[in-house]
Chain A
Amino acid sequence: MGVDARTLVSMRDLVIRRASDDRPVLDGINLRIRSGEVVGLVGESGSGKTTLGLALLGRIRPGLERIRGHVRLEGEDLFSVPAAELAALRTARLGYVAQNALEAFDPAWRLLRQTTEAALLHGLMGERTATNAATSLYGELGLPDPEELGWRYPHQVSGGQLQRIMLAMATLNAPDLIVFDEPTTALDTSTQETVLKAVRRLLRKSGAAALYITHDLSLVTRIAQRICVLHRGRIVEDAPAEEIVHRPRHPYTRALWGVAAGVRRSRPVPEQPLLELRGIRTGYGTGPDILHDVSLQLARGRTLAVVGESGSGKTTLGRVIAGLLPPRAGEMLLDGEPLPPRLKDRTQEMRRRIQFLHQSADGALNPSHDVFMILSRPLALFHELSGRAAQQRAEELLEMVDLPPDILHRRAARLSGGQKQRLALARALAAEPDVLICDEVTSALDAVLRNGILQLLNRIQERTGTAILFITHDLSAVRAIADEMIVMHEGQAVEAGSCADVLKAPQSEHTRRLLAASGAGSSRFMPAGQ
């Protein structure tokens, strides 16, 4: 970068909106990418980042319409060139790498043929040259057996390999600009690393400019020289990567860095456990065991985090406690009393004392009920409240979760994602539970909303003394909310202890790996003292 500061592509005052409801998806975007410059574009889902990336390639998806603004590739307006010319431009000068490679390949064509198709169609290369170029690119990208790989079909290779073949396809014609749309998001941690390395090597070698789209701020700092932060269709911050890392200016950028919720202060030593699990073993139907011999203790007023990757059995553990999945062996005690394994054998009082918060509030709230209906059911079932008393209590609950009382008669389907999660929390609180099981409640929310919910949970716990079982894969959330934690792996609790101890000095190999994977990017660039 640097030396040649010629503008390659520029986007001026681009406004794109949804045709169906006129809502702006991109709201006045100005962006300039110089030759050879790698720009990161960071934003949460729904921020419009994919729309922006596609617009850079002259593409607007059906259902969207461009209101004004243009995109110029060295002066040529991509929205006004004839279709045939645009096709030729895309082949020769633009490249695109999609998020999910498996869905971006024609399932019925061999990979090599798809890689070289555009070059052959537009006569950029002869068949033999193209084949050789593709094969050697495969090799450079570290793909196994590059000669043979091209003869396979998309479903015959792994996701990480397919993603790299897509990289090869995008760079075969030595484009001037490549748009990467979350190329590593759909991959697992170790594959992510391989693909990311391939991207870096490729960019360095080819000298192409790039727009790298992601939701992961720490990841993009490893690739991009400049970073744009996109929030609700606007670029709220556009600065060199260094600046974004050390001196983020916009509050949204700071929120994206996550841990703003801070570290939880220490609490008084617990008394006897409120909820205790001993040697729980379970599985679905006649299938194999999902949990093997899991035990845990949760005390009043404390938060226990259950941490693990997807498939580790952490959600299953929550469902066992809630009574949704009876254990095959082991026992559960609530206040020293045995807790029946099946929901239908539990008394209404037991059901009241244990509340379950689903991962997606979207699914957990009946979309055709209004807010009052949603809050009044637990009030009627657990506290026999109705009429004015119920309404008053419902308003109190809304206040407790920072929701305005005037949404009381709005339908759940019309609330925003953050409001839904708060409402789901209010519904759980309506029961006045002793134990609140939170199943990945923050994973569907963006960073800002997530921090809001974490702070809210802390505050509510202080007020009500509810014990929280916080199931998550997100270690920064654990720091912010939990007193103790257990780490799950393949259905077993591989480590348990106080958060401070486990995070500082992990004992098991698996915990160390988990910490390394989550902290790889962020700890390196983490501004001190935050």
Chain B
Amino acid sequence: MNRRNMGKETGGTERCGNVHPLVRIIAGRLVWAFLSLLAVSVIIFAALEMLPGDFARSVLGQSATPEAVAAIRHDLGLDRPAAIRYIEWLSGVLQGDFGTSLSGRGVEGGRSVAELVLPRLGNTFLLALLAMAIAFPLAFLLGLIAAMNRGGRIDRAINSVALAFVAMPEFLIGYLLIYWIAVRAGLLPSLASVGPDTPLAERLMRMILPAATLSLTVIAHILRMTRASLSELFERLWMEALQLKGIPMAIAVRRHALPNASGTIANIFAFNVAWLITGVVVTERVFVYPGIGQLMVDAVTSRDVPVVQACALIFAAVYIGLNLLADIVAIATNPRLLHPR
């Protein structure tokens, strides 16, 4: 948005300045995101190491023969140094191989984690995207309205409702929707247990309630942040100076404040992905929706480490990636960096 505004009147006079600061800072962010992800992967891998007790025995049960235990230990690579196993695990992950699930082991030889995760990943992304598509514009609009009426009655009403919603656990919102809309009114199905063969229309129908739940849980957070950031922006002296030179508030907001807020808005978006992920895990549980949030919780309960690792790594990558993207947007729309002295 910002860039477009500037581009329009660049004319022929754009000075071929030194673009290095921008590139350097973005490169710095890339490195930092990469290091974060690496550090997180170390932590995630270390989880396996920290498991107390002999894992192989706990999987096979007390009656297992020593040979079987040794075989499984060898299978899992538990008899080799941790550093080597980390590198092997990581290179496997990079090729899409997240190892073998522990839960099915012994009975049917275990399923590959990727096989478990991949189909559910699509479901989760669909749900999250749907929720974000509803939540973000709505929350942003409400936040903008509140900020423009800062201190007024509309602002106080919006803020109080948001404050109440922030305090509601996701499952309360989910079950309230089920209770009212699915059970009492009978309008929509209460469960969202879709399968690969579910027709698209029915799939979307079943996703309405989960998506609504997820939206409601993040709207309040996004709204409050938007309101805080935008009203801080509206209090800048140059917003006052604009009005004093005769630019009406609405135009000043549209032409000046919002383009300046693009970096902030990107950051709010990325920041709230954390709430979205929490929401995904709980919502999938409430609606029995086959996504990776549900999968991860099941894996935690059964202590299926490779699955937990895979899910955690995916969530981490998404979160870090989106934050990186937001950082880059903020940097690339900062006039000081875009047009160095």
Task: Assess A/B contact in the complex (Cβ within 8 A).
Answer: yes
List residues of chain A with CB under 8 Å of any chain B CB.
54, 57, 59, 61-62, 83-84, 87-92, 94-96, 98, 100, 103-110, 113, 117-118, 121-122, 148, 151-153, 155-156, 169-170
Task: Looking at the assembled complex, report how far the CB atom of B265 sits from the nearest CB atom of chain A, in whole angstroms.
Answer: 14
In the assembly, what is the distance between CA of A121 and CA of B247, in Å? Answer: 8
Which residues of chain B are near A57, meaning CB under 8 Å?
Answer: 244
A151 touches B13 (CB 8 A): yes
Known A103-B238, A108-B335; judge A96-B244 contact (CB<8 A). Answer: yes
B145-178 contacts to A, CB under 8 A, are: 150-151
- Encoded as 1 (CB less than 8 Å from any A CB) or 0, chain B from 237 to 259 comes to 11011111111110100001001
B248 touches A87 (CB 8 A): yes
Which residues of chain B are near A94, meaning CB under 8 Å?
Answer: 244, 246
Known A62-B150, A87-B247, A96-B244; judge A108-B2 contact (CB<8 A). Answer: yes
Which residues of chain B are near A92, meaning CB under 8 Å?
Answer: 246
Q: Which residue of A lies closest to B237 (CB)?
A: A103
Q: Which residue of A lies closest to B248 (CB)?
A: A87
Q: Does B9 contact A (CB under 8 A)?
A: yes
Contact check: which of A84, A90, A107, A148 meets B245 at CB < 8 Å? A90
Which residues of chain B are near A156, meaning CB under 8 Å?
Answer: 339, 341
Q: Does B5 contact A (CB under 8 A)?
A: yes
In the assembly, what is the distance between CA of A98 and CA of B247, in Å? Answer: 16
Known A104-B237, A109-B256; judge A121-B251 contact (CB<8 A). Answer: yes
A96 touches B241 (CB 8 A): yes
B260 touches A107 (CB 8 A): yes
Task: Looking at the assembled complex, report how far the CB atom of B233 sits from the nearest CB atom of chain A, in whole angstroms.
Answer: 11
A98 touches B246 (CB 8 A): no
Q: Does B80 contact A (CB under 8 A)?
A: no
B246 touches A121 (CB 8 A): yes
B246 touches A155 (CB 8 A): no
In the assembly, what is the distance between CA of A109 and CA of B251, in Å? Answer: 14
- Encoded as 1 (CB less than 8 Å from any A CB) or 0, chain B from 69 to 111 comes to 0000000000000000000000000000000000000000000
B248 touches A83 (CB 8 A): yes
- Encoded as 1 (CB less than 8 Å from any A CB) or 0, chain B from 322 to 341 comes to 00000000000101100101
Q: Does B236 contact A (CB under 8 A)?
A: yes
In the assembly, what is the distance between CA of A62 and CA of B249, in Å? Answer: 14
Known A103-B237, A103-B238, A108-B260; judge A122-B151 contact (CB<8 A). Answer: no
In the assembly, what is the distance between CA of A371 and CA of B150, in Å? Answer: 38
B242 touches A153 (CB 8 A): no
B260 touches A106 (CB 8 A): yes
B341 touches A117 (CB 8 A): no
A59 touches B241 (CB 8 A): no
Task: Looking at the assembled complex, report how far the CB atom of B335 sits from the nearest CB atom of chain A, in whole angstroms.
Answer: 5
Q: Does B6 contact A (CB under 8 A)?
A: yes
B238 touches A104 (CB 8 A): yes
B2 touches A118 (CB 8 A): no
Task: Looking at the assembled complex, report how far the CB atom of A52 sits from the nearest CB atom of chain B, in whole angstroms.
Answer: 14
Total A-B pairs in contact (CB under 8 Å)? Answer: 88
Known A151-B13, A153-B339, A155-B335; judge A105-B238 contact (CB<8 A). Answer: yes
Task: Looking at the assembled complex, report how far the CB atom of A162 sits from the nearest CB atom of chain B, in whole angstroms.
Answer: 12
Could you list 11 examples of A-B contacts with CB < 8 Å? A62-B150, A62-B151, A62-B235, A87-B248, A91-B246, A106-B256, A108-B260, A109-B5, A110-B6, A110-B9, A152-B339
Which residues of chain A are near B11, meaning CB under 8 Å?
Answer: 151
In the assembly, what is the distance between CA of A84 and CA of B248, in Å? Answer: 7
B130-151 contacts to A, CB under 8 A, are: 150-151
Contact check: which of B238, B245, B341 meets A91 at CB < 8 Å? B245
A59 touches B240 (CB 8 A): yes
In the assembly, what is the distance between CA of A137 and CA of B6, in Å? Answer: 24
Task: Looking at the assembled complex, report how far the CB atom of A124 sits from the nearest CB atom of chain B, in whole angstroms.
Answer: 10
Contact check: which of A118, A151, A152 meets B246 at CB < 8 Å? A118
Instruction: Name the residue in B244, B247, B251 with the highest tally of chain A Cβ atoms < 10 Å from its Cβ.
Output: B244
Contact check: which of B13, B241, B246, B260 meets A104 at CB < 8 Å? B241
Known A113-B9, A121-B247; judge A153-B240 contact (CB<8 A). Answer: no
Contact check: which of A87, A100, A153, A169 meets B237 at CB < 8 Å? A100
Contact check: which of B9, B13, B247, B335 meets A107 at CB < 8 Å? B335
Which residues of chain A are near B9, meaning CB under 8 Å?
Answer: 110, 113
Q: Which residue of A lies closest to B260 (CB)?
A: A108
Task: Looking at the assembled complex, report how far the CB atom of B180 sits from the nearest CB atom of chain A, in whole angstroms.
Answer: 40
In the assembly, what is the distance between CA of A68 and CA of B11, in Å? Answer: 50
- Encoded as 1 (CB less than 8 Å from any A CB) or 0, chain B from 270 to 313 comes to 00000000000000000000000000000000000000000000
A106 touches B242 (CB 8 A): yes
In the assembly, what is the distance between CA of A229 and CA of B241, in Å? Answer: 25
In the assembly, what is the distance between CA of A165 and CA of B243, in Å? Answer: 17
In the assembly, what is the distance between CA of A89 and CA of B13, in Å? Answer: 34
In the assembly, what is the distance between CA of A87 and CA of B252, in Å? Answer: 12
In the assembly, what is the distance between CA of A89 and CA of B248, in Å? Answer: 11
Q: Which residue of A lies closest to B262 (CB)?
A: A108
In the assembly, what is the distance between CA of A109 and CA of B236, in Å? Answer: 15
Instruction: Name the residue in A59, A96, A104, A148 with the highest tally of chain B Cβ atoms < 10 Å from its Cβ.
Output: A104
Known A96-B241, A107-B260; judge A155-B247 contact (CB<8 A). Answer: no
Task: Looking at the assembled complex, report how far the CB atom of A521 sits from the nearest CB atom of chain B, in whole angstroms.
Answer: 27
B339 touches A96 (CB 8 A): no
A98 touches B335 (CB 8 A): no
Q: Which residue of B lies closest to A83 (CB)?
A: B248
Known A103-B237, A153-B335, A156-B341; judge A88-B260 contact (CB<8 A). Answer: no
Which residues of chain A are near B2, meaning CB under 8 Å?
Answer: 108
In the assembly, what is the distance between CA of A354 and CA of B201, in Å? Answer: 83
Q: Which residue of B lies closest to A53 (CB)?
A: B244
Which residues of chain A are near B260, meaning CB under 8 Å?
Answer: 106-108
A108 touches B246 (CB 8 A): no
Known A108-B260, A156-B339; judge A89-B246 contact (CB<8 A). Answer: yes
- Encoded as 1 (CB less than 8 Å from any A CB) or 0, chain B from 1 to 30 comes to 010011001010101000000000000000
Task: Looking at the assembled complex, report how far the CB atom of B291 sits from the nearest CB atom of chain A, in whole angstroms.
Answer: 40
Sorted nearest first, the 4 A-B pairs with minimum C-beta distance are A91-B246, A90-B246, A104-B241, A96-B244
Which residues of chain A are near B15, meaning CB under 8 Å?
Answer: 151
B336 touches A107 (CB 8 A): yes
Which residues of chain B are near A169, meaning CB under 8 Å?
Answer: 245
Told that A87-B243, A90-B244, A108-B256 touch, could you supply 5 new A-B pairs with CB distance under 8 A?
A103-B237, A104-B241, A106-B238, A108-B333, A155-B339
B217-247 contacts to A, CB under 8 A, are: 235-238, 240-247
A88 touches B246 (CB 8 A): yes
Which residues of chain A are near B247, meaning CB under 8 Å?
Answer: 87, 117-118, 121
Contact check: which of A59, A148, A155 meets B341 at CB < 8 Å? A155
In the assembly, what is the distance between CA of A210 and CA of B237, in Å? Answer: 21
A148 touches B13 (CB 8 A): yes
Task: Looking at the assembled complex, report how far the CB atom of A180 sits from the nearest CB atom of chain B, in whole angstroms.
Answer: 12
A98 touches B237 (CB 8 A): yes
Task: Looking at the assembled complex, report how far the CB atom of A105 sits from the nearest CB atom of chain B, in whole angstroms.
Answer: 6
Which residues of chain A are near B341, meaning CB under 8 Å?
Answer: 155-156
B246 touches A122 (CB 8 A): yes
Task: Looking at the assembled complex, report how far the CB atom of A439 sits from the nearest CB atom of chain B, in whole angstroms.
Answer: 30
Which residues of chain B are near A103, meaning CB under 8 Å?
Answer: 236-238
Task: Looking at the assembled complex, report how far the CB atom of A135 sits from the nearest CB atom of chain B, in whole angstroms.
Answer: 13
Which residues of chain B are near A59, meaning CB under 8 Å?
Answer: 240, 243-244
